[in-house]
Structure 1
Amino acid sequence: MERYLRLFVGWVTASREKYTSDLFFRTTVHVVVLQAVLVCICIVTFWWTLQYTNDRILAAVVSNIQEIVTNASTADPKELARSISAIQDRAVILAFGSVLVLSLLFGILLARFTLRPARETLRYQKIFISNVAHELRTPLSTIKTSSEVALLDNNLAYPMRKTFGEILIELDRISQIINNLLSLNTLTRPERMQFKDVDLGDIVEDVVQRLQTFATERDIKIIVKTDARRTVWGNPSALEQIVNNLIKNALSYTPKSAEGVVTVSVRPDYNGLIVLSVADNGIGISQEDLFHIFEPFYRADTSRVRKIKKTGSGLGLTIVNEIVRVHHGRINIQSALHKGTTVSVTLPSGMQEGKTEGGQPSRGQSEVMLDFSKGQKHTMQN
């Protein structure tokens, strides 16, 4: 007996420590306790309803008997049956309403407790990623500076120069990932963003000018088309991130070719909203990949992108998606394999705009749309 008692005490102690340290175990305990409480409340409610029904029926029967005993000529034998039926109906409605309210309350509490670990994990994950990204910046900057200084040596052997060049390329890629992680943490939080009227056309022109060298290296032509009505309501830094990521993605996934073209346009749509569109004639995206295109670090089919030597960090469209969500806009992607991709971002206008006709996806294209103004997602293929 003493042995079992020690085992029980040890189990209780271990469970208490696990309850304190393990968020998921604590949530499991809370859910079990909530279920037990709900069952107890339902039993009490059912018992109270039976008692209420019996008391009311007994009172109706006693009242009817008293009327008969006192020779009340107005007493109707059918009145007792009607009274009992009405009492039973009220009891059923009361019981049903009580169970419904309890179920809704239990559902809210259950969702709150079950989602708490996910919320806490996500919060700690964001803090961890932000801290790691900040800590990595300094040593990476030191390594990059040292590599660039080494390349200034004219007597440096070709193999070493090639190695340092590859190091710089990888450092730039890592720096891009770190910057995207920090952007994902800062540019997607509405409480840290200030919104105002922004000329989206100016942002497009600045970004295109900044990426022109990259486009020239890949023999890709960038065409910019803007409308006179191009003012949106948003955060300038976040909007610049959208434009930069979309254009850079289009350039990165368009093979080097004199026929490579990336078209960037800013125009009002038929609702007066402002549409930023980035179209390319690159490798395209399959319908299967479109379902995962906004997932962090998701990579498309490697057999199609292996010839693209310089690809993104896997966070570009994730950041775009989150920023569009914060701006209550919508993002639409139309793509056809080996033909190209068109990404359209619709944002609230900064002033009343006119209306123009919208387009439909062409045959052979797959399309995915996220509408954060209405909370809808739609995928289709023509």
Structure 2
Amino acid sequence: MASMLFEHTTLGQRVLFGTGKAAEHVAAEIARLSATRPMVIAAEPERALAEAATTGTTPVLWWDDVVQHVPVEVADRARAAATEHSVDAIVCVGGGSTTGLAKAVALTTGIPVIAVPTTYAGSEATNVWGMTEDRTKTTGVDEKVLPVSVVYDAQLSRTLPVGLSVASGLNGLAHCIDSLWAPKADPINQAMALEGARALNLALRGIVADPDDLTAREQALYGCYLAAVAFASAGSGLHHKICHVLGGTFDLPHAQTHATVLPYVLAFNAPAVPELAARLATALGQNLAEGQDAAVGAVYALNVLREAVDAPTRLSDYGFTADGLPEAVERIVKAAPASNPVAVTVENITGLLTEALTGATPSPAVLTTV
């Protein structure tokens, strides 16, 4: 008897991929949109990359006030500037914070966004926005914030330091893993998530071996795009709810927080979804032996990757302390999806965060409640 029943939405977006082609592709998209007053958003450290990516384009406004987690007051200043300069297109060049600010402007103005990512955050491929106010990060879904075009150019990520490349790539991998069992997960986004995980596993190893390996950096962009498309369809799972709390309330760095928390959430959920865990293990290069526990295999495969690329391992390295545990746990339990494979409690989330705080070796727990 047939059992496949789901509803899947594919977001409408133009993707232009090509190393060394950013300026050409950005100019073509500006022309396609008939825009004559573009605004470029790029943090000061990315100014040179943004100038390279917009060669041949004449912006009416350069904006470099970019802050992680997009504080509402920063978004309001950028919105006011865009309105004052009659901006008719936004080109954002940078990582997730830069894309997030462009989305915040688009949310209230409807100005189309052309995203030029220089990291592997993946925000460019989703219709999800996020802003922070009073130590609380709020997210939402709105078609206005989905960039109309994404321009991928591996050359622009070449200067991204190896450590940040790893953290950013593992953030992309978190999109893959969360998409396997997020509230609206379906077979289509699971397939994209697993292919994204396969690509990112190989790409990150390649970047660590040779930071100038453009083939590896192309694979990282490819993988992070698939991850983000899957995430946009599947929705935000437990991993992202945890990281939004840690980032918005405690101002922990975005990519490093995702990279650190990921194996603990996988170890938490994988025992309840053995078939998906087995497929993930295979995507990460670990072929399970007959009778091998799928959850153990998936966590082992992720741990092997993390060790190979010297991934972040402790939240304490980024300023989180045991004093923050009670508030973090309270906020996470309140935000956790009801559909998570494992029932979320104060006790098990306290355990998860304590392990992530101290860097304990992630391993699947014996579940008493599924």
TM-score grouping bracket, smaller chain normalisation? under 0.3
If asked which structure has higher relative contact order (CA below 8 Å, sep 6+), I would say 2
* TM-score, normalised by the number of residues in structure 2: 0.24
TM-score (norm 1): 0.24
Query: Which structure features the higher share of strand residues?
Result: 1
Q: Which has the larger radius of gyration?
A: 1
